Structure 1
Amino acid sequence: MVLVAVFFISIILIEVPEMLKERRFKELRIFSILTFLGLILWIFYVLRISIFNPAKIIEYIVKDTLHISYK
């Protein structure tokens, strides 16, 4: 658990200063969003909180809406 936290912190400390120095604010915004989502998913995994499975929506669209059968 601590190893993953160190991993997130080290990636942030390596990437963010360079992005700020080069004034890549759009890339920094996307990096922050994806890092935050990854951190939240990791916290949910550690706390054993079930997360939404997007495959269920895709299955519903393919089977029920488009009436496509796959095997």
Structure 2
Amino acid sequence: MIFLLVCAFIGVILFEVPSLIRNKHWRELIVFSIFLSMAFLMSLLPAIGVKLPSPAKGIDYLIEDILHLNYQ
């Protein structure tokens, strides 16, 4: 599973990065690298057995408790 995950991300890198470098889109390359690194980490952790919390609970806390918005 981890091998397939790494292969998929390498495929994305090989498809996207050369055109960003060729066109000298350095800022886009930095943002792409940050997002790709975060996505890889968030995909790798469940693959190795780490249980991640649900983002829905965090969004619910943000909307109800911090912003004091109620949706019904």
Q: TM-score range by the shorter chain?
A: 0.7 to 0.9
| TM-score with structure 1 setting the length | 0.78
CA distance in 2, matches of 1:63, 1:35: 31
- Tell me the CA shift for residue 53 of structure 1: 2.9
Structure 1 unaligned spans of 5+:
none
**Identity value in percent:** 29
Task: Mark the structure with the bigger radius of gyration.
Answer: 1
- After TM superposition, the score normalised by the length of structure 2 is 0.77
Question: How many residues of Structure 1 are paired with residues of Structure 2 in the alignment?
Answer: 70
> Which has the bigger relative contact order, CA under 8 A and spacing at least 6?
2
Deviations 1:9-53 (A, max 9, x none): 111112111111110011101110111011101110111212243
Match of 1:68 in 2: 70
Amino acid at match of 1:68: N
